[in-house]
Structure formats: C-alpha cells, structure tokens
Chain A
Amino acid sequence: MAPGDLPVPAEGAGGRPLLRAAGLSKTYGAVQAVRGVDFTLPAQGYVTLLGPSGCGKTTILRLIGGFERASSGLLELDGVSLLDVPANRRPINTVFQSYALFPHLSVEQNVAFGLTLRRRGRAQIAERVGRALAMVQMLPMRDRRPRQLSGGQQQRVALARAIVNEPRLLLLDEPLSALDQRLRKDMQVELKDLQRRLNMAFLHVTHDQEEAFALSDWIVVMRDGRIEQQGTPVAVYHQPASAYVADFIGGANLLAGQVVEVRDGRATLATALGIFEAGCAPTVALGRPASLCLRAEHVRPVAAGGIEARVAHVVFKGAEWLVAVETEDGSRLHMLLRHQPPAPPGAMLQVTFDPDAAWIVDGTIQAAA
C-alpha cells in the first residue's frame, strides 16, 4: 500500500474486487511511465485517475484496456490474470479521447459494431443498440455519420458504443477534454447519472481536479508514475496525504515547517508563523519535512489578535474574493472571502484561521516541485 492509502472501497459481489493491480509497471526504454502501482477497483462505482500530464494515468488505462503490455506486475480481472489476454478478448470497453468513431459507418452501425462481431441476431442487436442510443439521447441521430455530429454528440455515441456490450469495466480516457466549459459540466452530470443507472464500474482519467471531485466515488491521485493518494473526494480534499496532493487539488495554503512531535494521528509543527498542533497525514514523522495545510476558505481577517500581514493583491471571482496577503517573514496566505475584502492592496490587516480546520501534510512545496 502506498503512503496515504485509505481503506479500499467496497468489494464486488464475489467478495473480491473487480480489478486488482499489484506492482504494475511500464517502462518505455529509459522512461518509467508507471512504477510499481497497487490499487483495486470495485465492481460498482465511479473511480477517477487524477494527475498532471505525464504522470502515467493514461498508461495505466491503456494497460488495463490491453493496448499496452505491462513490463512487470500483476493485473487481474475477477481474479483472472489479464496480462496475456489481448485487448479484443477483455470484457472491458473504452471511450477514447478522440472518440474514434468509424467514419465509414453510421451512428447505429458504430454502436452495433461490437455486437455484430459476436454474431448476435439482427433483431437482438437492433433492440440493444436502440436502448443504448436512447440512454445517451442519440436515438434520432441513428442514421447520421460521425462527420455530421458535434463533439458532444460524438462523445455520446462513443459512450453508447462502449456500454452496449455490457462490459465489466468502462474506461474513459479524458473524454471531456475536447469540450467547452459549459458542455463539460453538463456531460459530467450525464456521465455520473449513467454510471449510477448502469450500476457498473467506470474508470475515468482526467487532469481536471474539479471534474474528479464532481464525478468520483473514489479518487486516485497520481504523480510521476506512482500513486500519491487514494480516497474519497472528501478525504482527499480535507486530509491530503502530502503537500503535492494538497497543492494539486488546489486552493490550499502550505506553510513549511519542522515536525516537533507526532502522536495519535496529531502532530505539532513549528513554522515561521508560529507553532501549531493539528491532525496529520499518516506519513508525517519527526525529522521529515512537513507543511501546515490551510484551505483558503478557512483563513479570514480578524480585528485583533491575528497574524500581521499586508494585502498583496485582490481578485474578484464573482461569488467570492480571492485575497493574497504577505506576512512579515514573506509567507503568502490566500483567503477566500464572501464579501468585499476589508482593505485594498498595500494596506495592513490581521488574519487568523480555525485551528480545527488545519491539517499537517508530509513534504513541502519546494521539495515537491
């Protein structure tokens, strides 16, 4: 189990997880894309692989799909090893980033493709295709060609084409990255809804943490070919395992410091702004660099008794104001305020935070960078 692991999610009907990966690695020449990764996927649930480009998340997806061969490690589906099973024989389907709809076939023929290969009866195929298309609201377009569809429509057809085969696991490779903001939000809702209705396992790869939070029952945060943390969105957000995760998820203030004491899941950290005691991530230990993690929404200005700071800049975000302040020793703190900030840039004020909202994470930004 990698540092930061929280207990695995509920297991499948057979009392064992749907997919199990242990020590999974993939090396391309001198580059290690995936380094000994361990994780499991339940038979139902929406799981996302989250990370920046190059972190190995797409490689893992392709290893599961069968488009790449693992360099070493274990990969099992329903307890049976997948390593020597070619892609076309895995009960897994993929929604590709470019959708990969067959241009010479109509929407209906595209969706029916997998079924026609298995020689089901024509009536049965038509019925299943119809149901799949209806589920993604693409039934009226059944005779169109992919070329005549918009990006969002193509994506739905790609979805239908995958789920009509009733796979054990659906893989989605950054399916929403080509869509504009508005459409993306709508599709996120539809994807989540679809997964619930089908009650199956979805594994979704993305670099957008908002998307991961919106969709997932379980998030796997990756970096440099390794898993940094796995957990529910709430856990990852409020209890990040490391400074890297806290920073990647966004919106966190990280104050580097020295660990003074660790006991019963709580630690004491000495930082430039003072000594603080708070709950901590599992790998925080004496002698290791650590940071105090403060969500921007938990930092607020106070009339007296707080930390002296000068307002550096103010950003209006519509529903909130993002205020950056700088303390005497040069530390930067971000605050998310509901109302207009009390002082303009350049002015001095005092800030404080709710001690129960603080969290101590392993590592620092500088080390993480």
Chain B
Amino acid sequence: MRPLLNAWVCTIYAFMYLPVAVIALFSFNNSEMIAFPLQGATLSWYGQVLGDARLLGGLGMTFLIAIPTAVLATILGGASALALTRYRFRGKAAFVALLFLPFAVPKVILAVSWLLVLAELGVAKGLATMVVAQTIVILPFTTMVIASVLVRLDRALEEAAADLGATTLQTFARVLLPLARNGLIAAFFVAFVLSASEYVVTSFVSGRNQPLSILVASDFRFHLSPTLDALATLLVVANLAIVAASELIRWRARGRAVGRT
C-alpha cells in the first residue's frame, strides 16, 4: 500500500513540474521552433531577454507595484489575522466573510466592477489603482498565512507577559511580533510573488506603464518564441529564489530559537 502511495505522490509532483521543466528545456533550445526534436543548447534567448529594454522596464514596474502591495497586504493581513485568532467580537462571522469575499468572487467580475467605478469617478488608471486592486485580491492569502502562525502560538505566553507587567502594546512588540516574524516574512513573500504574477485584475486597471505580466501576455498573443521561454524560465527561477530565500530565513530563525550550545 505504501509504495503505491509514494508512487502516486511522486507522479503528481512530477505532473505539477512538467510544464515548468518543458519551458526551461526549450529556453535553452537552439531553434526558433518550440517543438521536438531539440537542436542543441544556447543561451542566446536569455541574452535577448536581458537586453530588451522594454522587458526590463516592465520588470521595474513589477517591482514598483509588488513592493507596496506586499507591504500593505502583509500589514492588513496581519491585523486581520490578529483580530481573528485572538479576540471574540460581534460581527466576527461577517468580518471573515468580508475578508474572503475577494477570493470568492471571480477576479474578472471584481475587475469589471472596478472598471465601472473608475469610469464613473473619472479616476486615472496607474500605479495606485494597480496596488489597491492587487492588495484587495491578495489580502485573503496573507491573512491565512499569518493566521496559521498565530494560531499555533501558546495563548498563555501573552497572559504571562501581562502577568509580568506588559501593556497590550508591549506584549505585541516584545512577544507576539518576534514570534510571528516567520509568518510575516512568509506572508510578504507570498504577496510579492502573487503580485508579480498577477495578470487578470492588473490588465483591467493598468495605466500606460505596464508590469511584466502584462507585457508577457501581449507578446504571447503575437508570437510564440523561445525568448518568451527564456523570460518565463527566468521568472520561475526568480520566484523560486524568493521562495527559497524565505524558507531559508525561516529555517535559520528556527535554528536560532533552538540555540547553539
């Protein structure tokens, strides 16, 4: 029974990484055509991507959007998670429903409603609209990540801090925050990555300067080329690097908590 389970799990993971592997493979393929058989290795496509000013501009825009979005989503998500895991209050169920509304409503529907409002109010589309829109959509994710960390913290720790004389603020700063740090870092990275790869909503509320995800989309519609593969692979690697960095920080923090003897 067990080898069957292991085999199944491996198959599923392989399935999940199949497209990624294929993309990476063809990004090194020395041919304009994305088809078998392979024609030898080359880095020329990467060269093209890295030299493309337009793409680099898009990357800049992506960062410009992702960083404020991640900061906002983490702070708001943290506040929500704290309220959900530590306090009982009237209307809590409604608050939860509100928090997960952006997740439950199909992104396109949200996006068109934003389109309507922006048109009505005559607000220009641009950086601000993209940051707000993405923050709303990413908020449920950051809330869940931070909540899952907070839930596991012993409630007695906060009582102990109060017992020893700490005010609510001091308990938050000296006990909760340090212990939830991993969750906050993880939430930040999740938000960053989700923002960088966000396309649907962003396409509706973007202004003249477009992030990478939209540039890729427009290129994609016009032609399939290995440069796109190279770009995609770079994006995957970059995302992987960010996630790896976040995991590394968490792992080292855990090590530090155990201590060196």
**Nearest CB in chain A: distance from B181 CB, A:** 8
- Please tell me if the beta carbons of A117 and B164 are within 8 angstroms of each other in the complex: yes
Residue ID in chain A nearest B258 by CB atoms: A147
User: A67 to B257, Cβ gap below 8 A?
Assistant: no
Of the listed stretches A21-29, A94-102, A301-309, A315-323, chain B binds A94-102
In the complex, chain A residues 69-117 whose Cβ is within 8 Å of any chain B Cβ: 86-89, 92-94, 96-98, 100-104, 106, 113-114, 117
**Cα(A65)–Cα(B162), bound, Å:** 10
Cα distance, A144 to B257, chains bound together (Å): 10
- Chain A residues lying within 8 Å of B164, measured Cβ to Cβ, are 88, 93, 113-114, 117, 161-162, 165
B163 proximal to A (CB < 8 A): yes
- Partner-binding segment picked from B139-147, B151-159, B194-202, B214-222: B151-159
A67:B159 contact, CB within 8 angstroms: yes
- A102, B160: Cβ atoms closer than 8 Å: yes
Instruction: Give every chain A residue within 8 A of B156 (Cβ-Cβ).
Output: 96-98, 100
Cβ–Cβ < 8 Å partners of A87 in chain B: 159, 162-163
Q: Report if A96-B160 is in contact (Cβ < 8 Å); known contacts: A144-B259, A145-B258.
A: yes
* A144 partner residues in chain B, CB cutoff 8 A: 259, 261
Contact A102 B259 (CB under 8 A): no
B207 smallest CB distance to A (angstroms): 44
Report B74 CB to chain A, min CB distance, Å. 20
Residue B75, interface by CB 8 Å = no
Q: Give the chain A neighbours of B154 by CB distance below 8 A.
A: 98, 100
Please provide the chain A residues from 129 to 186 with a CB less than 8 Å away from any CB of chain B in the complex: 143-145, 147-148, 161-162, 165
Q: How far is the CA of A67 from the CA of B157 in the complex (A)?
A: 12
Which residues of A lie under 8 Å from residue B178 when comparing CB positions? Answer: 104
Q: How far is the CA of A360 from the CA of B178 in the complex (A)?
A: 59
Chain B positions 224-261 with a Cβ under 8 Å from a chain A Cβ: 257-259, 261
| A103 and B160 contact, Cβ closer than 8 Å, known pairs A117-B166, A118-B165 | no
Q: Pick the contact of B163 from A65, A102, A106, A145 — CB < 8 Å?
A: A65
**Chain A positions 210 through 236: 1 when the CB is less than 8 Å from some CB of chain B, otherwise 0:** 000000000000000000000000000
B34: Cβ under 8 A from any A Cβ = no
**Does chain A have a CB within 8 A of B175?**
yes
B residues less than 8 Å from A161 (CB atoms): 164
B202 to chain A, nearest CB (A): 38
For A96, what are the chain B residues with a Cβ–Cβ distance below 8 Å? 156, 159-160, 163
Residues on A with C-beta less than 8 A from B174 are 113
CB proximity of A82 to chain B, nearest CB, Å: 14
Q: Is B71 in contact with chain A by the CB < 8 A criterion?
A: no
Q: Are A147 and B162 touching (Cβ within 8 A)?
A: no
Task: State the A residues within 8 Å of B (CB).
Answer: 65-67, 86-89, 92-94, 96-98, 100-104, 106, 113-114, 117-118, 143-145, 147-148, 161-162, 165
Please, could you name 12 A-B residue pairs with CB atoms under 8 Å apart, sorted by A?
A67-B162, A88-B167, A89-B165, A96-B159, A100-B159, A102-B160, A102-B179, A103-B257, A104-B257, A113-B174, A148-B259, A161-B164
